[in-house]
Structure 1
């Protein structure tokens, strides 16, 4: 059986595992992505990776004028969420976005990173799902026993969702009928290095608050207008991209107002990774992984 899903343009990113990352490599690279110059000036141009045919929230925020004196510099397209945040951790870019489970694994490998705002998620408009043909004999979790489920990447978001579904349905036949999936939640975040945040607090605040405003603009603006704006953004950047997929955009799927990050968005995956033995139980707590300090949305 192959896994299929619907999602926002952001959440279509493919996720790679983070096995093999060394603390030495990460700590060595963070100096490159450090902060302002020796004179104390803060960085105002943020390097980042994009995605073909998609408009990320920072790109939308910049186009809407929410970044004030902060500019974006595109350095190429990412191949996955984990690759995107590794690039931020090693100094190739100033921020990256990935599934929160991938953020946890990178932090557990001693990368000095912090999530500053949610980047995508699952809501009633945009969500992940697993589908079979109408005449398929697969109708429940137990029907998957002995079957193969195709995954683009092991150890990443969609495998995590499938594992939760199976574990929640595997106790008994009676319990299987009581299980539901996760409901609305923010699945990924934008991260920066702790050093960059410390040395560029005003830039980080402008970036984070601008993204928060873009999240709310996308929620409150008629969908056709949002799609038209994103289509124009893709056309203006002149990278010979197909804008067809943007027609099907519904939302970024972010659950919390302004993309603020609650403990539960990380605790869910801390528990899951701990149970799987991929991180040590108790090694990290949610507050180690994120901060809402720089998100000015809703603060007056």
Structure 2
């Protein structure tokens, strides 16, 4: 439990706007999979120099098609950092993986959200109209998949009433405009692609995930619990740097876009899409609240995926805003 208490101290320090400034005992390398068109907060932290002197070194292994792929890599030991929608994280834990949620990757609010688009002349006007239609999402079993299921549930429709097809983020606009799909869902982490598509005109939003879920964390960066237990100081430094980067991006949006453009260019991606980065949408201090996890636990209990009361948000979160407020 030492790691938990250390990270709660981290959250308190971060919330107060302070810095640890304590070097780790030894250098550790954290391997991760990147996301096309995006930059995780820990990647931004590295660019900003927040990990210098902490013993944290990041190694990019390439790209993940979606969160579930990164969780598989984490579970199998080929990666040290996973990043996925909360529903996917919980499904992985239910499947037997002992993961903990380190920090929220992004938040869903009026500024940063996943948006479901159709062509301007499409007859689809509402959530009810997507029943029987084909919807493009970046991966199955993750945020967009569960958002569609929850949207249908709230309208009293079967949760499998939509045909979901997997389309990589860079091709979402193309498959919609070529009418290969009826709807393209741009995730909250794909605001760069969404902005570019919107700029081209001829498309119309029918709903977004805040309409379905309210303001909530979209997903989490996760670590293996045994790694956190073995490296409490490094885990603290990792989360501290990411939390600081989340705050920096919110306070310096124009500079953040420049960093995004630089990194995308270095990766061989299109740096022009960086201008559409809408921010991470995470609460000040980068701290989650228990509802961020509990909402999806309740959904999975309702669907019979997990026994009621078996999972608790407090056991999955390394730290929460409620824990900090209670100190």
Q: Name 1:64's counterpart in structure 2.
A: 48
Q: Name 1:290's counterpart in structure 2.
A: 317
Shift of 1:264: 0.4
Aligned match for 2:241, one of 181, 206, 210: 210
Q: Name 1:170's counterpart in structure 2.
A: 156
Aligned 8 A contact 1:117 1:259 in 2: yes
Shift of 1:155: 2.7
Aligned 8 A contact 2:84 2:142 in 1: no
Aligned 8 A contact 1:115 1:290 in 2: yes
Distance (Å, rounded) in 2 between the aligned partners of 1:154 and 1:76 = 20
Aligned 8 A contact 1:258 1:298 in 2: no
Distance (Å, rounded) in 2 between the aligned partners of 1:253 and 1:114 = 21
Shift of 1:214: 0.2
Shift of 1:299: 12
Distance (Å, rounded) in 2 between the aligned partners of 1:219 and 1:98 = 21
Aligned 8 A contact 2:81 2:223 in 1: yes
Distance (Å, rounded) in 2 between the aligned partners of 1:85 and 1:180 = 27
1:195 and 2:222 correspond: no
Q: Which has the higher helix share?
A: 2
Distance (Å, rounded) in 2 between the aligned partners of 1:68 and 1:188 = 26
Distance (Å, rounded) in 1 between the aligned partners of 2:264 and 2:326 = 32
Distance (Å, rounded) in 2 between the aligned partners of 1:192 and 1:59 = 15
Distance (Å, rounded) in 2 between the aligned partners of 1:217 and 1:287 = 27
1:228 and 2:255 correspond: no
Secondary structure of the 1:210 match is helix
Distance (Å, rounded) in 1 between the aligned partners of 2:247 and 2:318 = 19
Q: Which has the higher strand share?
A: 2
Shift of 1:53: 4.0
Shift of 1:203: 0.4
Shift of 1:55: 2.1
CA distance 1:192–1:242, change in 2 (3 Å): same
CA distance 1:299–1:62, change in 2 (3 Å): farther
Distance (Å, rounded) in 1 between the aligned partners of 2:34 and 2:119 = 33
Q: Deviations over 1:110-150 (max 9, x none)?
A: 11111111112222222112223344332233333444444
Secondary structure of the 2:59 match is strand
CA distance 1:232–1:110, change in 2 (3 Å): same
Distance (Å, rounded) in 2 between the aligned partners of 1:117 and 1:248 = 23
Aligned match for 1:80, one of 66, 77, 88: 66
Structure 1 residue ranges (4+ consecutive) displaced by more than 4 angstroms after TM superposition: 40-43, 297-300
CA distance 1:298–1:243, change in 2 (3 Å): farther
Distance (Å, rounded) in 2 between the aligned partners of 1:154 and 1:113 = 20
Aligned 8 A contact 2:112 2:278 in 1: yes
In structure 2, runs of 5+ residues without a counterpart are 1-23, 158-209
TM-score (norm 1): 0.74
Distance (Å, rounded) in 2 between the aligned partners of 1:299 and 1:245 = 41
- What is the Cα-based RMSD across aligned positions, in Å? 2.7
Distance (Å, rounded) in 2 between the aligned partners of 1:201 and 1:139 = 50
Aligned 8 A contact 1:212 1:258 in 2: yes
TM-score (norm 2): 0.68
CA distance 1:149–1:79, change in 2 (3 Å): closer
CA distance 1:282–1:210, change in 2 (3 Å): same
In structure 1, runs of 5+ residues without a counterpart are 1-39, 172-178
Distance (Å, rounded) in 2 between the aligned partners of 1:142 and 1:61 = 41
Distance (Å, rounded) in 1 between the aligned partners of 2:25 and 2:84 = 29
Aligned 8 A contact 1:68 1:206 in 2: no
Distance (Å, rounded) in 1 between the aligned partners of 2:137 and 2:225 = 33
